[in-house]
Structure 1
C-alpha cells in the first residue's frame, strides 16, 4: 500500500508536494480527539457557533485569492472561478449565521400533553468523503451546517487536493474552532471501511461517483450508519421553440463549460426542439469558440486543463465510443495531456455513452427533438436525477412539467446550481439526502420527540 500522496499541477505537470499518510495510530488519535471534542462542542451555545462562522467568513473573504491559487495549482481551476468559489463559501456562512438558531430551535407541537415538542440534537462525529472538482465549496457546504448543528467533522478529501484539505482544517482552527472540531484524514480508500465501522463515526456523507456512493452506502448500511450521497449526474438542458437565446445563451454555455465542465450538476445533454435547433447550434458554437483558453493562473482564462490527464483520457474514450455508434463531431475534440478542447457533438442517440453516462469535462451532447413533449420525455430518460433546466418564454406551460421530471432540481431560464437558501441533492443514481438550507442542517441531527404529561 502506498504510504504517501504526491500532488501535481495539471497545467505544468510540476510536482507540488508529498504528504505522508496518517498511520493507524494517527487515525485512532484523530478519532479520539473528535469524540472528546464533540462532548464539549455539542453543549456550546448556538450564538458562539455562529460567531465562529463569522470568523470563518471573514477569513475566506480576506484570503480568497490565496485559496483560489491553491485550487488552481492542485486541480487546474481558473483563478477567477476559484475566487468565486471561496466567496460562495463565505456567503454560506452568512446564511447559517442568520438562520441556524431558527432552524435548530425546538418545535412546539400541540397535543394532549402538558408540553410536547421536537428537539434537534447533534449526532456526533460525521465523516465526509469529498471530491476534487470544488475543493472548498463541497467541503464547506458539508462542514458549515454540520458543525453549526453541534456535530464535529472529519474530512477524507480527494488525494489530488490534499493541500486544500489541510488548508481548510487550518482555516477552522484559525477561526477559533476547537482543534478536534474539524480534522483531515490523510489516508486511502482501503481504510475507509474500517473507519466507518469505528464506533466513533455516527454518519457518513459522500460527494462523488455513483460507484463510490454504492460502496460507501454498502459499508455504512452494514454498520447501521446514516448516509447522505450526492453522486453523479447527466443533467438535461431543454431549449424550447420560444427560448430567448440572445438573453440566455451565456448562461447556457456556462452551464456546460464552467469549471472546465467538471461538475455533477453541469448541463450535459442539450435537448433542442427542431424549430430552434439551427439557430441554437450556430449561436452555441460561436460562444464556445470564443471562450478564453489558457493558463488557469490568468484571470482572463475561462477554460484550462482538466484536473488530471487520466480524466481527459476517460472523457476521450466516452466520446470515441459515441462516435463509433454514429455521433458526429460538430466542433472541437482535440486532447493534449490534461487539456480537452471544448467540444460539441451532434447526432446523439440514447444508446451512446455521452447520452447515458456522466461526462465530466467540456463536452456538450446536442440532441434534436420534434417538440416539447419529446423534449421532456428525452430529458427524463436517465438513470440520474440531479437536475433539469428549461429555457422558454412560456413559463406557465412548463410549470405543468415540473412533477414529470423526477430530479432533485428543476430550473427555468437558469442553470442548475447550488444555493445556500435552497436544498440540494438528487434522486435515482444521483443519490439521496439533502445539503444546504434547513434540510441540510437537519440531516445529521437526532429529531427527538419530547412528551411531558400533565
Structure 2
C-alpha cells in the first residue's frame, strides 16, 4: 500500500492523499521513540505522565467539532456520533489519568519465607500500535494512553483511510505535553509494519483489526519473541430469555446492532429470542430497524466501497442459500446500505459463522436456554454478549456458559472508560482498558529484600 487517502464514503471522492513513509522516516520513528523511552520511563513519575493524559482529555473536548468533521470525511461517521466517540475518548484518557497511581502501585506479595517481596510495574520500551478505521480516536486512546502513563513510548500506524485523524491525534498528544518521541505517527506499509515488529527496539505490538490481520501480526510477533495484544472481530449474541419489558429489549437490540452503522466489533449481530417472546419481539424489532433514517442521521454510509461490496455479497449469498430478508433490500445506493434483518438461517449457510460488518441483524428463534447457549457458542468468535433476563441468577448461569470475553446483562453498551475490554477464540487475546489493560505491556518487576 503506497498511499494513505481520505476518500469520502458518501460521495466516493478522494479528497486528500498522503505518501507512505520512507525507510528513513521509519528509522527516525524507531530511533526517537527508543531514545525518548529511556528518559520518559526512568526519569519521570506516574503522576507526571498522568498529568499529560489529563490535558489530552481536555483537548479532545476543546477540539471535538473539528475532530468529528475529520472522521466524517474519512469513514462516514455522522457528526453527532463522532462527537460521542470523541467525548468517550476524553473520558478514557481522564480515567487512566485519575486511576494510574492506584493501578500502578507496588503489589505486595505474601510469601512463605516472610521476606519483603513486591511487584513494581514499569514500562518495557517502544510499543507498536496498528489501529482500525471504525473508531479512529477511541481505539487509539485506549491503547496509547495507558502505555504512555506506564512509561512506554508509542509508534502508531493508523488505518490507510484515516491519515488526517492520525495526524490530528499526533498533534493532540504533542499539545498535551507529551515529549517529542513519546507518540509518533507513521504512514507505514504492511512490509514496514513487519520490519518494525522484528526490530529489537520494539518490545510489543497491539492490533485492533480483522482476524486475517491479527493472524499475520501474531505470527510476526511470535517469530520476534514479542508480546502482542489482539482485538479482532466479533459476532456477538443478544439473548432475550425472560423479560417483562419487550420494548426495552428491542430498544437495546436496535442500539446494539446500529451503533456506528453496524460497523462495531462488539455490535449485537445475532439476535436470539426465546419462543414465547419471539413473535412480538420480531415484529417490533423489524419495525424499528426499518424506521432507521439516513436523512435524520440515525446511520451513515458504510466506510468504503469495499466494505459495501463485502456486506452485499454476504447477504446475497445468504439469500441464495435460503435465508429470508425481513426488512431491507440488499441494494445499497452508493455506500448507503439500508438497515436490514435476515432470518431462517441454518448452520449450513456461510452467514451462520461469518461476521456481518454493517447494519444487518440476524434473527433466530430458540426454545430453551440450552439451545440459546449452543447457538451463541456456534461461532469462531468470542468477544461480547448481551443477556436480557429478569432473573439475574439465570442470566449469570447462562453467561457462565457463553464462550465470550464479556457478558452484559439487560443492556447493551455497558462498557466504560475504566472497564476492561477483550475477547476469546478468534476475537483475539489480551485486554484493553482498566487496570488489566494497563498492565498488558508492563514489566512486572519483582523485588525481594534479604533484610
**TM-score normalized by structure 2?**
0.97
Cα distance in 2 for partners of 1:243, 1:316 equals: 36
Cα distance in 2 for partners of 1:400, 1:444 equals: 33
Cα distance in 2 for partners of 1:316, 1:199 equals: 43
Higher deviation after alignment, 215-224 or 365-374:
365-374
| Equivalent runs, 1:127-142 vs 2, <5 Å | 127-142=128-143
Tell me the residue number matched to 1:189: 190
Q: How far did residue 5 of structure 1 move?
A: 2.3
| Equivalent runs, 1:74-93 vs 2, <5 Å | 74-93=74-93
| 2:32 aligned with 1:33 | yes
| Equivalent runs, 1:357-436 vs 2, <5 Å | 357-436=354-433
Is 1:310–1:338's contact at 8 Å kept on the other side of the alignment? Answer: no
| 2:308 aligned with 1:312 | yes
Cα distance in 1 for partners of 2:103, 2:180 equals: 26
Relative to structure 1, is the Cα distance of residues 389 and 234 closer, same or farther in structure 2, using a 3 angstrom cutoff? Answer: same
Cα distance in 2 for partners of 1:13, 1:323 equals: 28
Cα distance in 1 for partners of 2:258, 2:223 equals: 39
Tell me the residue number matched to 2:238: 237
Q: CA RMSD in A?
A: 1.3
Cα distance in 2 for partners of 1:323, 1:289 equals: 19
Is 2:150–2:442's contact at 8 Å kept on the other side of the alignment? Answer: yes
| Equivalent runs, 1:44-83 vs 2, <5 Å | 44-83=44-83
Q: How far did residue 417 of structure 1 move?
A: 4.9
Deviation string, structure 1 residues 232-276 (Cα, Å, up to 9, x no partner): 010011112435222232221010011010010011111111221
Deviation string, structure 1 residues 416-440 (Cα, Å, up to 9, x no partner): 5532222110000001000000001
Is 2:93–2:142's contact at 8 Å kept on the other side of the alignment? Answer: no
Q: 1:335 pairs with 313, 332, 336, which one?
A: 332
Q: How far did residue 105 of structure 1 move?
A: 1.2
Cα distance in 2 for partners of 1:397, 1:55 equals: 44
Relative to structure 1, is the Cα distance of residues 417 and 9 closer, same or farther in structure 2, using a 3 angstrom cutoff? Answer: farther
Cα distance in 2 for partners of 1:435, 1:450 equals: 26
Deviation string, structure 1 residues 163-185 (Cα, Å, up to 9, x no partner): 11111011000111101110111
Cα distance in 1 for partners of 2:326, 2:360 equals: 11
Is 1:244–1:393's contact at 8 Å kept on the other side of the alignment? Answer: no
Tell me the residue number matched to 1:297: none
Deviation string, structure 1 residues 132-178 (Cα, Å, up to 9, x no partner): 00000000000111111010111111100111111101100011110
Cα distance in 2 for partners of 1:359, 1:241 equals: 26
Cα distance in 2 for partners of 1:322, 1:227 equals: 35
Q: How far did residue 50 of structure 1 move?
A: 1.4
Is 2:85–2:138's contact at 8 Å kept on the other side of the alignment? Answer: yes
Tell me the residue number matched to 2:288: 287
Q: How many residues align?
A: 448
* Off by >4 Å, runs of 4+ in structure 1: none
Deviation string, structure 1 residues 107-153 (Cα, Å, up to 9, x no partner): 12233354211111101100000100000000000011111101011
| Equivalent runs, 1:11-26 vs 2, <5 Å | 11-26=10-25
Deviation string, structure 1 residues 3-60 (Cα, Å, up to 9, x no partner): 4322211002222211111100111011101011101110211121111111101100
Is 1:85–1:134's contact at 8 Å kept on the other side of the alignment? Answer: yes
| 2:101 aligned with 1:101 | yes
Cα distance in 2 for partners of 1:250, 1:373 equals: 25
Is 2:150–2:438's contact at 8 Å kept on the other side of the alignment? Answer: yes
Tell me the residue number matched to 1:278: 279
Find the residue that maps to 1:448 and give its secondary structure: strand
Q: Runs of 5+ in structure 1 lacking a partner?
A: 295-299
Cα distance in 1 for partners of 2:242, 2:266 equals: 24
Find the residue that maps to 2:358 and give its secondary structure: coil
Find the residue that maps to 1:69 and give its secondary structure: helix
Q: How far did residue 190 of structure 1 move?
A: 2.4
Q: How far did residue 285 of structure 1 move?
A: 1.4
